[in-house]
Amino acid sequence: MSQGDAMTASDATQCIWLTGATSGIGRALAERLLDRGHRVALSARRFEALEALAGDRDNALLLPLDVTDRAAVLSAGDRLAARFGRLDLAILNAGTCEYLDTRRFDSALFERVFAPNLFGALHGIEAALPLLRRARAEGRRPLLAATSSAAAYLPLPRAEAYGASKAALSHLMESLRLDLAAEGIDVSIIHPGFVKTPLTDRNDFPMPLRVDVDTAARAILAGLDAHRLDIHFPRRFTLALKLLGSLPPGLRFRLGRRLARAPETTETPS
């Protein structure tokens, strides 16, 4: 365990639920949270992958599920209630990405992308909120977090489905933060730029300022520890996207068309 991951006196053991735990950012987060000594419920579709991730750690609870299956997610919430009794932190990280070719517009692609990215998160919120409320009733400050994308900041070519699903997720989470504040439940939205994962390894375009999963995990955990609303990185990239997203629509359109003319340079974070 590195010094930066060592548990401190102020870093009391938490009960945590992490979806999308076996690959990419999720796996890096899972390993660090387990090494910190937290009790971590790990969810992904394949039980064997969860077993391999948990190893012999006795602070891991394996909850295999498909986040698009509402009944399965709610059942996992029941298991969490029985084992943990509460949740101090829920990280809804599961998601996917597909790019659209408008010459062969396919509404089914949108359904495939929205199912885990938005509705999977909604199912997780429904299951997690009662347990986050239990933590609050015990005098804790619970946190609900979800992994969106820097693509939510700016419409980009080929990202119609992916960007829309992440923008919807970001809007949802920011709205929830307003409504849940009165209950003492905080909300964080994670907006990564490009991170080297099996998902981005499939991309067929340059990915500026791409970071490794360890860098991503450190940035995310620092933001979660601070209960930050918007956890975004690498900041040089994400601040640039925010700035571009604030430009007048006509200027955004002209800039976006330049990207559309050269698909190999399309930049869509995952």
Residues 199, 117 contacting (CB under 8 angstroms) = no
Q: Is 162 a catalytic residue?
A: yes
Torsion 69-70-76-79 (CA) sign:
negative
Distance CA 140, CA 1 (A): 26
Q: Which of 114, 153, 162, 194 is catalytic?
A: 162
Instruction: Please calculate the CA angle 188-192-198 and round it to the nearest 5 degrees.
Output: 125
Distance CA 165, CA 142 (A): 25
Which uninterrupted H or E stretch holds 146? strand 143-147
Q: Maximum CA pair distance of the chain?
A: 57
Residues 217, 32 contacting (CB under 8 angstroms) = yes
Name the phi and psi angles at 243, rounded to 5.
-65, -45
Catalytic machinery residues: 162
